[in-house]
Amino acid sequence: MSLTTSSATSGENVPPTPADVPPPKASTEAVNFLESLVPEDDFKYLMFEDHLVTTSDTGKELGEFAVSIEPTKHKGQECFLVHANSHGAIDGVPCGTSITAYVGDNLETLEQQHHEYVKLENCPLDRKTFIVKQEDDFVINRVITQGEDIQRSSKTVNQEVMKGFVSEGSNLLLHRVFIEKGIPENLQLISFDSDTNLCPAIYRRLEERTQTVDKTELKVFGVERTINSTVDLPTTWQSYFMKDGHLTNRVQVGSPVTMKLAFVPPYIIRDEEPPKPTFEKQPLRWEDDAQLYSQFLDRKEELKADHAKYMRHHPELKALLADFMQFLLLRKPDDVIAFAAEYFAAFSTTMPSPSPYLASSSVTPFPNSRTNTKIEQLRAPTR
């Protein structure tokens, strides 16, 4: 989709974007990297402040640079507040930059205010850029004041075109994420150049090196960012960080101004989960444990008292067991279990009652008596 631009002010001269030039796109690897970020895990230890001093190539202190990132809410949405401020004087001319950005999940810019100024004696320059996300679009407003001339411009960019966009505010948080997670290969995002033209933003890892800060040698890790403007020369920044994400050095390639860490900040302590202790299995010798043995005796006395109480409430139990033992000792059966089962079966309420004619219905011990011919002959009348 093309960009739509509207402007208002006299004397404004905004170079139009060629209609036949498609807007740049972020690489698939870069988009996947942003979508894989989990703020609760990946940003957990990135909420802190950085303070650097700005020096010239001769070592003269020119000003200071500060960055702070903290969790917040913006219009009811959980996000991160990124604030950066740089001010000083170069060749006696005061200048500075300030950024206030609200960055959401996956480093999406919800709102950003970018202010730059150079207080020249005859023609001071003041440039303000506002980025606001509104539903499916991003609205970019600019106000450039140079002397008495004021230029205003506004443009709206569709969200699909801005996929993979990294503003100056979200870029500061992204650098810390790179130190935390590493930089994937072929990482191309999109960003604005100085004239708010969408351009490819290339990130790559720099070689590790050592940096001396306040007589302390630190091992630092570098990230390089290059904005390939379509209307101007490329612009490259190189930044170095401590292992915990603290910024130690930042420079724009070709610029005589460098931002350096003056004092080593306290190392960020991470709440790492301690390893779970392992315990070897030990044999249980409860007799040797005074507490366990005492509990055993208490439980034993409790059960004995409960059993005695039950027998006092059921005196028939003693009589029943006494009869069974007497009967058992009189008979002395070989199979005690079968004998006991037959004995106690008579007391069961679930056994069927025996028939009163059980004896007469039993099988006769004389199976042939009913058909004995001699008996029949005796019954016959004498002839």
User: How many angstroms separate the CA atoms of 369 and 383, rounded?
Assistant: 24
Q: What pLDDT, on a 0 to 100 scale, did the predictor assign at position 382?
A: 52
Q: What is the pLDDT of residues 173-203, one digit of tens each?
A: 999 999 999 999 889 999 999 999 999 999 9
Q: What pLDDT, on a 0 to 100 scale, did the predictor assign at position 366?
A: 46
Give CA 243 to chain center in angstroms: 21
Write down the pTM of the prediction.
0.67
Q: What pLDDT, on a 0 to 100 scale, did the predictor assign at position 129?
A: 97
Alpha-helical (H) ranges within 80-184 are 168-181
Whole-number Cα distances in Å, 20 to 1, 145, 156, 160, 190: 11, 31, 18, 18, 19
DSSP-assigned states of every residue in 203-239: EEEEEEEEEEETTEEEEEEEEEEEE--SSS--EEEEE
Three-point CA angle 51, 52, 55, nearest 5°: 160
- 250 and 241 Cβ atoms separated by less than 8 Å: no
Region 161-181: mean pLDDT is 95
Tell me: pLDDT of 298 over 80. Answer: yes
Give the bridge partners for 203, in sequence order.
Answer: 187, 225
Whole-number Cα distances in Å, 383 to 11, 146, 376, 377: 164, 164, 15, 12
Q: What pLDDT, on a 0 to 100 scale, did the predictor assign at position 16?
A: 47
Q: What pLDDT, on a 0 to 100 scale, did the predictor assign at position 124?
A: 92
- 129 and 114 Cβ atoms separated by less than 8 Å: yes
Question: Which stretch of 183-197, 261-275, 316-330 has the lowest confidence by average pLDDT?
Answer: 261-275
Q: What is the pLDDT of residues 70-129, one digit of tens each?
A: 999 999 999 999 999 999 998 889 999 999 999 998 999 999 999 999 998 888 999 999
